[in-house]
């Protein structure tokens, strides 16, 4: 694989030397591209000696019979930027191309991994967070920094991830690149809102972040994605978005999209019940709410599924998590259930991180420790891809008889 290793100017540039060596040791063809600031931290000669190619001088150089500022990016199979400074992230998010690294980032269609490294104050600045969010929406993969010693004797969050972590994440990303190409994926996200009257609704705490991350990851892996969402979050780029409000809206939107889908991921927290007769006008005084169950969209999908279609359900539990999820898997007749213990710190509703267990109808069980929702999304999609490849998805004999509380 041809890898461009971008190095921008932070003290973590010294750890990029190790990233370079590990990528070369793994059998890849590596070209290091240094910003001017990076050259102040680590000498060009070090990267030229370790990488497969000498370090290109800059924008104006010829490269492999072409012009360096586009040729490097066009020919790359993977671009890794380690460290990615606040300045580099800002220039990349703004689409600037004023040096060889930023031009390469714009000229590539290969997957890109950025490994931010900066002081805690900068890492926590909204400008940096917004730039990263923009890049994530565009499909850029982030290996987040850890906590520890920083330049100048400071300590805190912002220390670049370790070289082994970066290399593992970069190679995993590249293996996933395009593995959903040619497939149609439908993802639902968010908590539905069920009208009591024109003013009030019954809803739940789901933010839609996990579902949106799944849609984003599926699109990055080459799928055509339809995202059916009740969330107010900005949807990821490159996906078809259907906005819905209630379980009934979601049912109709999913029913329209699912027949042509290879994969349906029901990450939405669909209301289990709704007011039976929502008032046409605003209610005054204390209403007597009579509830009725909503249609179970996922179970309907399972009973109408076409051969080879992969169905994924979610479960949010607070106790007896895996046993309940196992029963849900059987009851709904789906291939995979992703269960989160919403009482665990940092996991579940409205967090950017999640911690889940993935269960398969084939007996597969794997815990995904606390990590970003995007990484949880990729772990789920790895299992989806494995089942698409095996062609062993469930049949229609879902055991939908009882429903546990």
CB of 296 to ligand C5P, least distance (A): 5
Tokens 């429903």 identify what position? Answer: 403
Find out whether 194 and 270 touch, Cβ atoms under 8 Å.
no
Find out whether 269 and 204 touch, Cβ atoms under 8 Å.
yes
- Candidates 392, 400, 401, 389; CA nearest to 179 is 389
Bridge partner list, 292: 274
Residue closer to ligand C5P (CB basis): 223 or 336: 336
Residues near ligand C5P (CB under 6 A):
188, 247, 266, 268, 270, 272, 294-298, 313-315
263-266 and 184-189 strand pairing: parallel
Residue closer to ligand C5P (CB basis): 53 or 400: 400
Residue closer to ligand C5P (CB basis): 112 or 228: 228
Residue closer to ligand C5P (CB basis): 114 or 334: 334
Find out whether 311 and 258 touch, Cβ atoms under 8 Å.
no
Options 131, 204, 340, 354, the catalytic residue: 204
Token duo for residue 383: 């299992």
Q: How far apart are CA 14 and CA 262, in angstroms?
A: 45
Find out whether 95 and 28 touch, Cβ atoms under 8 Å.
no
CB of 259 to ligand C5P, least distance (A): 16
Residue closer to ligand C5P (CB basis): 55 or 271: 271
Handedness of CA 365, 173, 17, 99 (dihedral sign): negative
Residue 354 annotated to the active site: no
CB of 250 to ligand C5P, least distance (A): 8
CB of 376 to ligand C5P, least distance (A): 14
CB of 270 to ligand C5P, least distance (A): 4
Category of 326 on φ-ψ map: left (φ > 0), alpha (ψ -120 to 50) or beta: alpha
**String of DSSP letters for 58-123:** -TTSEETTEEHHHHHHHH-SEEEEEEE-HHHHHHHHTT--SSHHHHHHHH--S-EEEEE---HHHH
- Candidates 101, 45, 96, 114; CA nearest to 68 is 101
CB of 254 to ligand C5P, least distance (A): 8
Residue closer to ligand C5P (CB basis): 294 or 357: 294
CB of 157 to ligand C5P, least distance (A): 33
Residue closer to ligand C5P (CB basis): 183 or 294: 294
Q: How far apart are CA 276 and CA 6, in angstroms?
A: 58
Residues designated as active site: 204
């Amino acid at each position: 694989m041809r890898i461009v290793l971008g190095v921008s100017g932070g003290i973590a540039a010294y750890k990029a030397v190790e990233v370079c060596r590990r990528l070369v040791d793994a059998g890849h063809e590596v070209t290091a591209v240094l910003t001017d600031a990076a050259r102040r931290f680590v000498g060009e000669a070090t990267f030229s000696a370790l990488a497969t190619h000498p370090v290109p001088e800059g924008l104006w150089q010829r490269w492999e019979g072409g012009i360096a500022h586009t040729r490097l990016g066009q020919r790359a199979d993977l671009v890794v930027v380690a460290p990615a400074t606040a300045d580099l992230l800002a220039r990349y998010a703004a689409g600037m191309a004023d040096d060889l690294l930023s031009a390469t980032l714009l000229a590539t269609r290969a997957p890109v991994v950025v490994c931010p490294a900066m002081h805690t104050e900068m890492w926590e600045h909204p400008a940096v967070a917004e730039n990263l969010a923009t890049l994530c929406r565009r499909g850029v993969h982030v290996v987040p920094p850890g906590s520890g010693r920083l330049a100048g004797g400071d300590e805190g969050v912002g220390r670049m991830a370790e070289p082994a972590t970066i290399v593992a994440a970069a190679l995993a990303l590249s293996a996933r690149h395009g593995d959903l190409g040619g497939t149609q994926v439908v993802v639902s996200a968010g908590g539905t809102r069920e009208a009591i009257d024109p003013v009030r609704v019954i809803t739940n705490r789901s933010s839609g972040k996990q579902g949106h991350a799944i849609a984003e990851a599926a699109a990055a892996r080459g799928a055509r994605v339809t995202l059916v969402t009740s969330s107010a979050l900005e949807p990821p780029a490159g996906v078809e978005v259907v906005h819905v409000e209630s379980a009934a809206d979601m049912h109709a939107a999913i029913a329209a999209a699912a027949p042509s889908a290879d994969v349906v991921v029901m990450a939405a927290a669909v209301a289990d019940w709704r007011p039976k007769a929502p008032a046409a006008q605003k209610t005054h005084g204390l209403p007597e709410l009579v509830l009725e169950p909503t249609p179970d969209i996922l179970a309907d999908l399972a009973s109408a599924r076409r051969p080879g279609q992969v169905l994924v359900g979610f479960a949010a539990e607070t106790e007896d998590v895996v046993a309940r999820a196992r029963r849900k898997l059987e009851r709904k007749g789906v291939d995979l259930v992703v269960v989160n213990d919403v009482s665990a710190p940092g996991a579940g509703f409205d967090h950017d991180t999640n911690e889940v267990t993935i269960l398969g109808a084939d007996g597969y069980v794997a815990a995904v420790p606390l990590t970003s929702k995007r990484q949880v999304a990729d772990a789920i999609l790895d299992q989806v891809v494995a089942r698409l490849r095996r062609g062993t998805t469930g049949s229609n004999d879902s055991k939908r008889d009882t429903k546990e509380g």
